[in-house]
Chains A and B, each alone.
Chain A
């Protein structure tokens, strides 16, 4: 069974700092990995999607990497801002015979202090 772990569970940083969120998964047979942002009381906003054949994806101040063989992904946030405060979730899409569900980690709760 695929398991996804995110470290740390919570992180508090001063504004302007660069930071890294970590995600690990136990089964490397994945189609892709997706990073989401979730604000309190809201749904999930997709940030980056990395296909299994890719090593990284970038969007603005965000960079996500994928090392499928070791079962790891990182989300790098440059020059953090208070508006980045949210819970960040990673999810892997597993290879299955029926459908392609996402398996989520428990998230990292990020607070960026002004």
Chain B
């Protein structure tokens, strides 16, 4: 596809369940980012991949959050033992930057809206 694709678009889970969110970046984009957006707020950085390497995970709020990108393309964000405060929109973005070049825009998917009951 032409853009960043995220699935599912909506996810409802009970507190304590594990969830997995998927991101398909734009083909050929080496950089991939995950952000968390609470209602009425701007997105907050979670983690960053350069190809398959997770270079920055400093934004992950707890060890219940785990992200991977094993083949340098599709990425999955997993949340274990979900809590109500995990309810948010999770946005994925990709860009064509190489590590030394940060001048390309990030392109965002439509996000996954996660609701924890």
Chain A contacts to B: CB under 8 angstroms: 4, 31-32, 34, 36, 41-46, 49, 51, 89, 91, 93, 95-96, 98-107
Contacts and interface: CB of A to CB of B under 8 A. Distances in A.
A56 B41 CA distance: 26
Contacts of A104: 35, 42-44
Contact of A34 (B91, B97, B106): B106
Interface of B: 4, 6, 31, 33, 35, 40-45, 48, 50, 55-56, 59, 91, 93, 97, 102-103, 105-111, 113
A73 to B, nearest CB: 14
The SS class assigned to the A binding surface is strand
A51 B107 CA distance: 16
Nearest to A103: B45
Contacts of A98: 48, 55-56
